[in-house]
Amino acid sequence: MALYTARSRSLIYHLKSKLASLGAVINQNCWVPHFTDHHPPLSPSRPTHHYLRNPDAIPTNDANPFLSHRFKFTQAGKRLDLIGNSTDDTRVLNFPGGEVKFTPEMKFIPQSSTERIRCYRVLDDNGQPITNRNFVQISEEVAVKMYSDMATLQVMDTIFYEAQRQGRISFYLTTIGEEAINIASAAALHFDDLIFPQYREPGVLLWRGFTLQEFANQCFGNKADYGRGRQMPIHYGSSKHNYITVSSTVAWLLDCSTQLPHAVGAAYALKMDGRDACTVTYFGDGGTSEGDFHAALNFAAVMEAPVIFICRNNGWAISTPVSDQFRSIFPLHVFSSDGIAVRGQAYGVRSIRVDGNDALAMFSAVETARRIAIDEQRPILIEALTYRAGHHSTSDDSTKYRPAEEIEWWRIEQDPVSRFRKWIESNGWWSDEAESKHRTTIRKQLLDAIQVAEKSEKPPITELFADVYDVPPSNLFEQERSLRETMNRHPQDFPSDFPF
């Protein structure tokens, strides 16, 4: 409804502007046809058009069938003065899509730039700043919270993954290797910013105050789960934390980007309402291979929506490598293009490539992107380079399509959590004692939360048919009755804790 209202306002404004311009043109009698005795009204030798911006195209003597009179009290006269000195080499034509200069040289645009887009980085592999400039300074309090949440995310992934392997939950996805993208971006945003996540951003919700018990309730789908057990595990959502629920559609199988157009629409609504906030949407490299990504970028650019697109380019869309998705930044031949960041430029979206394993670089890039998006009312695309150091999900064995040694190297040598820990330790803000205490505490809290979530009641059957209609139609009651009959006839086909 907000998007509809915003588009309506924009359309009304656009129509009023066009009508006003048309009225001015009619009243001023801008173009006056003037024929001589020597030329017919239509001359086939040289067509003329009032959108041509060179002296010969706007004749002012009897050698041409048309005589132009300059606009009165408008910018048109000034524009004609400006083009009075143009030559054939600088002829400009006002196409509906914009002004275009012509050239006699036939030249195809190359498929890629000779210079690759560089990757913004602050910390080296040893956690030391490359330079003391060009990054946003953060306080000790923020830095310690960032690291503690990154460590919490690691522990949470390990325990929930093991719980799925034990058959206690049905499904799970980890964020191993991508903790910096989660936490650093969340730290750089404001609470009023709307988050449109994919399925690998639980750290953003963790930063905003979602408790370990709430995570456990969702994964177990119990009565306390905000989704009432209707979602897959790790498909979190919280209106309280401005975190839009993760959606599993058909496109999700290909690394979903279905939430991108919604994020742009919400950002446009924020803009129309004059809100000091933006929307942020996360997606993987596989999502950029879907149409929703391109539609969203174009939509955002044209409508100048304050939205930040954060792409986690971790190299894999489940088992599909980036080399099979697009001309990647890892060239195998001379015809490679430049990954995802360059796509923003094609749509008129300001873009940056960032080391996604560098928490300080991610924080600086997102904090700056937010300021630009809101102050200048424009979209921003961030390509965060990283590596998915875990399996795609508990339904996947990534060693079937990539070397185990490669996974291990990235997991150990390029671990974003270890890199950031080295930096805060060098500042005297963290220690081995604090590390041991924190991880032990979080592990105990998670195990307790799992026990509580596991023992909690499941939602009643009626919840399957709720939260859609204010007044449920008769066909939903019929579906509920049919389900109950099926359950009673075949109780052996349902889990023992199923709420009959």
pLDDT for position 187? 98
Sheet hosting strand 380-385, strand order edge to edge: 119-120, 350-355, 380-385, 307-313, 279-284, 194-196
Catalytic residue selected from 99, 140, 162, 478: 162
> Is there a contact between 170 and 164 (Cβ–Cβ < 8 Å)?
yes
Taking alpha carbons only, the member of 135, 201, 20 closest to residue 366 is: 135
Q: What is the DSSP secondary-structure string of 384-436?
A: EE----S-SSTT--GGGTS-HHHHHHHHHHT-HHHHHHHHHHHTTS--HHHHH
The residue among 57, 39, 36 whose CA lies nearest residue 48 is 57
- Catalytic, out of 68, 257, 351, 393: 393
Q: What is the pTM of this model?
A: 0.80
Query: What pLDDT does 419 receive?
Result: 98
392 belongs to the catalytic site: yes
Q: In angstroms, how far apart are the furthest CA atoms of the chain?
A: 99
CB hemisphere CA count around 179 (13 angstroms)? 25
For 119-455, give the CATH class: alpha beta
- Around 125, how many Cα atoms within 13 Å sit in the side-chain half-sphere? 6
Alpha-carbon distance 359 to 183, whole Å? 8
Q: Which of 238, 248, 336, 337 is catalytic?
A: 248
Tens digits of residue pLDDT in 268-324: 999 999 999 999 999 999 899 889 999 999 999 999 999 999 999 998 989 988 888
Determine which one of 247, 383, 392, 398 is catalytic: 392
Residue 27 has pLDDT above 60, yes or no: no
CATH 3.40.50.970 segments of the chain: 119-455
Q: What is the pLDDT of residues 42-90, one digit of tens each?
A: 444 444 444 444 444 434 444 443 344 444 445 555 554 444 445 555 5
- Annotated catalytic residue 162: yes
Contact between 298 and 213 (Cβ < 8 Å):
no
Q: What is the mean pLDDT of residues 413-418?
A: 96
Tokens of 84: 């009075």
364 annotated active-site: no
Q: What percent of the chain has pLDDT over 70?
A: 77
**Span of 158-172, 331-345, 396-410 with lowest mean pLDDT:** 331-345
Strands 119-120 and 350-355: parallel
400-413 average pLDDT score: 94
**Residue 490: active-site member:** no
- Rounded to an integer, what distance in angstroms lies between the CA atom of residue 380 and that of residue 266? 15
Q: Residue 333: pLDDT above 80? A: no
The whole-chain average pLDDT of the chain stands at 83
pLDDT in tens, 249-270: 534 444 466 899 999 999 999 9
pLDDT for 214-232, tens place per residue?
999 999 999 999 999 999 9
The dihedrals phi and psi of 258, each to the nearest 5 degrees, come to -65, -20
Strands 119-120 and 194-196: unpaired
Q: How far apart are CA 442 and CA 153, in angstroms?
A: 10
pLDDT at 6: 52
Q: What is the spatial distance between Cα 443 and Cα 158, in angstroms, rounded to a whole number?
A: 10
- Mean pLDDT score, 480-498: 87
DSSP of 245-304: PP---GGGGGT--TTHHHHHHHHHHHHHHT-S--EEEEEEGGGGGSHHHHHHHHHHHHHT
The closest alpha carbon to 466, from 227, 152, 174, belongs to 227
Highest mean pLDDT (candidates 20-29, 99-108, 138-147)? 138-147
Tokens of 105: 């040289």
